[in-house]
Amino acid sequence: MKPYKIVQPGLVDYKEAWDMQKLFFNNMLDSKKDGTYSPMALILLEHPHVYTMGIHGNQNNILFSPDMLKRIDASFYNIERGGDVTYHGPGQLVGYPILDLEYFRIGIKEYIRRLEEAVIKTVEQFGIKGEISQNAVGVWVDSETPRARKICAIGVKVSRFITMHGFALNVTTDLDYYRYINPCGFIDKGVTSIEKETGLKPPVAEVSNLFQKYFKDLF
């Protein structure tokens, strides 16, 4: 039996999903303080075009202006996760696990490693060899070569061992939107998607179902 509930609201505005995360997150923090129970969750969804910047991000990695944001029909948020600027949009599987790492008896590094492993097993089903980079979080293709390209970004917040934020796996994502940022702060590495690597266009729901299977094995 899974120790968390799966929430799949579909295509959701970033602010609405952020509020959803914070509700689960704050309820779990409160329950840890008073010894009560509050459910863990795995939120899986898509967003309309949006850019988010982590707390230690470099503003120089933002290449768009407010007027440009309007022209490309995108929004922007500064948020409390780790990592730099990234993009979310339709055709991308976004996952927000709200978990108690103490329940699983693991630390932050192991948590991120398991997230990466679940994504690697997911993309493997489409013939893609996902890899972990020695120098960067996330899942990559050809990670240690000049052709390194990121297929999944990961950025999390952890407080009192409760997790928030998570990962973004490019499925059929419009990769042109990455032209307006230095993704995750990199200027010498590219981005990719399941579609770009294989020519396949799997529904995000199909990829989500695969991810849930491997996530359950690891958590």
pLDDT at 165: 96
pLDDT at 60: 87
Q: And the tokens for 114? A: 């398991």
pLDDT at 154: 94
Closest CA to 28 of 39, 15, 18: 39
CB 161 within 8 A of CB 97: no
pLDDT at 181: 85
**pTM score of the predicted model:** 0.94
Strands, E, within the chain: which ranges? 4-11, 40-46, 50-53, 75-78, 85-88, 92-98, 139-141, 149-159, 162-170, 190-191
83 three-state secondary structure: coil
The answer regarding whether domain 4-218 maps to CATH 3.30.9.10 reads no
> What are the sequence ranges of the domains in the chain?
4-218
Q: At what angle do helices 204-218 and 108-124 cross, to 10 degrees?
A: 130
pLDDT at 56: 83
What are the distances in angstroms from CA 133 to CA 147, 167, 215?
A: 12, 16, 20
* DSSP H or E stretch at residue 206: helix 204-218
184 is catalytic: yes
Catalytic residue among 119, 184, 191, 207: 184
pLDDT in tens, the chain (219 residues): 679 999 999 999 999 999 999 999 999 999 988 988 899 999 999 999 999 988 888 888 888 889 999 999 999 999 888 778 899 999 999 999 999 999 999 999 999 999 999 999 999 999 999 999 888 889 999 998 999 999 999 999 999 999 999 999 999 999 999 999 876 656 667 899 999 999 999 999 999 999 999 999 999
Q: Tell me the pLDDT tens digit for each residue of 120-142.
A: 999 999 999 999 988 888 999 99
Q: Tell me the pLDDT tens digit for each residue of 81-95.
A: 877 889 999 999 999
pLDDT at 81: 85
